[in-house]
Amino acid sequence: MSITTTSMPFWKEYPERDNEWVRQYPTKHVPVAEEEVFGRKPMGAYVHIPFCNRLCFSCPYIKHQTDRDLTRTYLDALKAEITNYANRPYVQDHEITLGYIGGGTPTALTAPQLDDLLDHLFGSLHMAADPDFSIETTPVDITERKARVLLDRGVRRISLGVQTFVAEELKNLGRPNDPEMLKNSIRLLRKCGFENINIDLMHGINGQTMESWEYSLDVAIELGVTCVSFYTYMEFAQVSTKRRKLPPVPERAVVDDMFLFAADKLTRHGFLGYYGDCFAKPGYQPKYGETSWSEDVPIIPLGPTATGHLRDYWYFNEPDIGRYIQTVMDGRLPIAMGKHITKPEAIRRSMVLGVKAGRVDRETFRRLHGVDFVEMFRAEIDDLVDKELITLDDKGIEVTGPKGWYYLDNISKAFYSQEYRRYPQHLGADISNFISSSSLPLEIITRPSAEEACHDH
């Protein structure tokens, strides 16, 4: 049977057959420069130093007493790990725009060790023109010489573990208990040229009262620090059983009030809230967490327990220092566990972690993921707006203070996918240094509520 054009009159799906032969997609074009295609993309690095010169009995983090031989071997391994990453083409396609050196206590290293480590780090990886690097220290471990090494190498933000300016409370934490020394270390850093100084303060310490908490906040404000991070003190069984009898920790309701009080006081003194527990003067917000979380900048994890996310995986490193050193010296990366992040989960991850930074920008999100998160999560966002936990405008969403900051983790979890809802996070890395080492089975003591406290007495 012969087919003629008149044999297909019933094909009426389109008025006419399209005669443009499809070759490309998308169909709109804008100017594109070589740099845009091949320029190095931003990347961060987290460097973990698991040593302290003096171990505080109240501390749950994995850390080791500085030891000449172990520290030297560790630094050799850490440099080998940096070199391993630096040699990978994927890493070479990026430039380091931000970094965080945490611990333990990174400044437990000597000035020459810090200099050598930073020299290797900055010399091996492609660094952006002015990378945003932060480092942690205790007030006792920072010296003028170390401060100068850090500044000369380009570290611009320093975070001091102050905890409290009250001598008795410092003693209850097993920390050197001279508040004057704490103040002097802040003055020293300022004199050396550090403009961006964060201090960690803890609330809920044994013997702490609302009045003593206010005193510590007042001293911090008076000293002119640019950022204050709060930690809610977790008391461990081994502290109370093995040490002298400590006064009780404040009850839960008081600790909650301490948070709200501090948030109110710091915002009245010109600080802005980030991550719910960090308050910074405008322009001094911690970039490491914010940029890497909300803009999905890949992070290289360096050192035992360090967490990173590269090539659509988030993962954390081997926590045991001996196994870490062995693996790295065998020429392998010390990756312990992690998870592949699918595209839908990458979108949720930007929401979950973006909320933790206090705000999610609509335009940045659209550029990153090609979707409008407000449309995508309309039900969750409407519910949070109704509860006055976030505000929504054309630019995006912002967590309200102090109510939203107080519930920050609840808000963040509203964006979990079904698969991860109610699934606890693995305690394995950076925040999660809280993993106990095998020789220290730590048990967190539950803080009493007001009723329980009354009942006990």
β-bridge mates for residue 67, sequence order: none
Amino acid at 177: N
- Using alpha carbons, list the distances in angstroms from residue 456 to 234, 257, 450, 452: 20, 21, 10, 6
Name 451's Cβ contacts closer than 8 Å, sequence gap at least 6.
none
Give residue 365's identity as a one-letter amino acid code. F
Closest approach, Cβ 68 to ligand SAM, in A, equals 20
Report what 358 binds from ligand SF4, ligand SAM, none; CB cut-off 5-8 Å by kind. none
Is residue 17 helix, strand or coil? coil
Question: Least distance from C-beta 29 to ligand SAM, angstroms?
Answer: 50
Q: Identify which of residues 324 and 405 has a Cβ nearer to ligand SF4 in the complex.
A: 324
243 phi-psi bin (left φ>0, alpha ψ -120 to 50, beta other): beta
Tell me the two tokens of residue 350. 């930007």
Least separation in angstroms between CB 275 and ligand SF4:
19
CB of 173 to ligand SAM, least distance (A): 7
Residue whose C-beta lies closest to ligand SAM: 161
Please state whether beta strands 307-310 and 335-340 pair in parallel, antiparallel, or not at all (unpaired): unpaired
3-state secondary structure of 229: strand
Residue 51 and residue 46: Cα distance in Å, rounded?
15
55 contact, one of ligand SF4, ligand SAM, none, CB 5-8 Å limit per kind? ligand SF4
Q: Which of residues 331-350 bind ligand SF4 (CB under 6 A)?
A: none
Is the CB of 53 or the CB of 84 nearer to ligand SAM?
53
**String marking each residue 162-201 x if it binds ligand SF4 according to CB under 6 A:** ----------------------------------------
- Report how far Cα 35 is from the mean position of its chain's Cα atoms: 30
Minimum gap (Å) between residue 159 Cβ and ligand SAM: 7
Q: Which does 404 bind (CB under 5 to 8 A by kind): ligand SF4, ligand SAM, none?
A: none
Judged by CB under 6 A, the residue of 99, 102, 131, 161 near ligand SF4 is: 161
Residues 137-156 that bind ligand SF4 (CB under 6 A): 138
CA 384, CA 374: separation in Å to the nearest integer?
12
C-alpha dihedral over 283, 286, 289, 294, to 10 degrees? -10
3-state secondary structure of 318: coil
CA 283/CA 278 separation, integer angstroms: 14
Q: Which is nearer to ligand SAM, 341 or 427 (CB)?
A: 427
CB 254 within 8 A of CB 453: no
Interior CA angle at 243 toward 238 and 246, to 5°?
100
Determine the Cα–Cα distance for residues 351 and 378; give it in Å rounded to an integer.
13
Residue 273's binding partner among ligand SAM, ligand SF4, none (Cβ under 5 to 8 angstroms by kind) is none
CA nearest to 409, candidates 396, 425, 427:
425
Of 440 and 450, CB closest to ligand SF4: 440
- Among positions 8-47, residues that touch ligand SF4 (CB under 6 A) are none
Contact mark string toward ligand SF4, 109..138, x via CB under 6 A = -----------------------------x
Site membership for ligand SF4, residue 227 (CB under 6 A): no
Query: Which partner in ligand SF4, ligand SAM, none is near 163 (CB below 5 to 8 A by kind)?
Result: ligand SAM
Kindly report the CA angle at 105 between 99 and 108, in degrees rounded to 5?
A: 115
Place of tokens 């003028």: 144
CB nearer ligand SF4, residue 52 or residue 360: 52
- Based on CB atoms, which residue is closest to ligand SAM, 377 or 406? 406
381 sits in which H/E element: helix 378-386
**Residue window 48-87: x/- pattern of binding to ligand SF4, with contact defined by CB under 6 A:** ----x--xx--x-x-x------------------------
Out of ligand SAM, ligand SF4, none, which partner does residue 91 contact, by CB within 5 to 8 A per kind?
A: none
Asked whether position 102 contacts ligand SF4 by CB under 6 A, the answer is: no
Helix, strand, or coil here: 301?
strand
| # of chain residues touching ligand SF4 (CB under 6 A) | 11
- Does position 105 interact with ligand SF4 (CB under 6 A)? The reply is yes
User: Quick one: which of 99, 102, 104, 273 contacts ligand SF4 (CB under 6 A)?
Assistant: 104
Write out the H or E segment, with its range, that includes residue 160: strand 155-163
| DSSP symbols for 20-68 | SPP--SS-------HHHHHSPEEEEEEEEE-EESS--TT--S--EE--H
Task: List contacts with ligand SAM (CB under 6 A).
Answer: 58-61, 103, 105, 136, 138, 161, 163, 200, 202, 231, 233-234
Region near ligand SF4 per CB under 6 A, out of 10-18, 98-106, 327-335, 404-412: 98-106
Q: Which residues bind ligand SF4 (CB under 6 A)?
A: 52, 55-56, 59, 61, 63, 103-105, 138, 161
